[in-house]
Amino acid sequence: MENLALEREGAVTLTPEAAFWAGRRVLITGHSGFKGSWLLVLLDTLGAQVTGLSLPPDTTPSMFEAVDGASLCDHHIADIRDAAAVKAIVTRAEPEIVLHLAAQPLVRASYADPLGTYHTNVMGTAHVLEACRKTPSIRTIVSVTTDKCYANDGRAEGYREDAPLGGHDPYSNSKACAELVSACWRDSFLAERGVGLATARAGNVIGGGDWSADRLVPDAVRAFSAGQTLEIRNPQAVRPWQHVLEPLTGYLLLAQALNADPARFARGWNFGPAPADMASVRDVVDLLGRHWGVTRPWAAQPGEHPHEAAMLTLDSSAAAAALGWRPRLTLDRALALTADWYRAEDKRAVTRAQAEAFLATVPA
């Protein structure tokens, strides 16, 4: 695997420290999902002792099965809407660090089942945090939300962490609510015990292993693999695209910082791409099509569609200044790695190779 650190000139960033993570007891909620499975591989590479709490994978195939995720952790199937099950698993694991990723993560699915979305993203988060409150071993919690938690007013400049929370659709709004739940548990219960709780807001994450419905890259891969043209709803919509390894290393750096100084770092943090990689939907499909060898990759989808914001960008300067985290992969390189992953014969091997190369080329 070539040196990934050379992809963006000057993008010097800190690395998650193997010395910190080796032997560390970590609980991941949502470990069977796309991001959670990549996080399992990263933490296994760093030597952590991981417990996973999640529903079964909701796609076939799945990233979790591709990397044999059950072999990388103490694997538990549970629903975060079940407070008693969550408490039992957290109590048994006695983790030091909790990385809360479990969620209903899809905008269009939230229109189909708004109450289920709120139950998972709001009450599920409360169940996880309440279990953490009652587990003395826990010192650090990173609760992952989304860039869509901000009240979108159509601005061209990136949203900073102090921008108003909101969200038009049930998914985005429920994640803004999860931010408020996290702040409440931090201020009411956890801060006085010295437990650091921060929230993390990433952009539109791409990479190999995502087979979800109604997501751009998986839909494109399915279309290209079948020799079809992808129909896209909003070709001009601009989003903060980034490779999955970028925000995940940000979450790990944030956890390290919280562990060292919980009072200073217990707040919300953005982990978005460089401004040059805030790109339209059509640009992303064009680039991915080029790496796939497709000359006419997309067409506009006819008909009416649910509301989606036309512009959404993030300002991640705070993470750069305080955590030493910066995005390193250009959008084009991220899409090249994504295409390589989907076309690889051995998914587990290519995942491990990409993760290890990314970690190895980040200067300590």
DSSP one-letter string for 129-191 = HHHHHT-TT--EEEEE--GGGB-----SSPBPTTSPB--SSHHHHHHHHHHHHHHHHIIIIIG
Full domain range(s) for residue 270 = 4-360
Q: Interhelix angle for 331-343 vs 281-292, to 10°?
A: 50
Residue 244 CA to residue 169 CA, distance in Å, equals: 24
Checking if the pLDDT of 333 tops 70, the result is yes
Q: What is the DSSP letter of 274?
A: -
The pLDDT assigned to 118 comes to 98
Question: What's the mean per-residue pLDDT of the chain?
Answer: 93
The pLDDT assigned to 203 comes to 87
Average pLDDT, stretch 87-110? 96
- The answer to whether 49 and 16 are in contact (CB under 8 A) is no
The pLDDT assigned to 54 comes to 98
Residue pLDDT, tens place only, 334-358: 999 999 999 999 999 999 999 999 9
* Total domain count, the chain: 1
Q: What is the CATH number of the domain that holds 227?
A: 3.40.50.720
Residue pLDDT, tens place only, 236-294: 888 889 999 999 999 999 999 999 999 999 999 999 999 888 899 999 999 999 999 99
Where residue 2 falls among pLDDT bands split at 50, 70, 90? very low
pTM here is 0.94
Residue pLDDT, tens place only, 222-234: 999 999 999 998 8
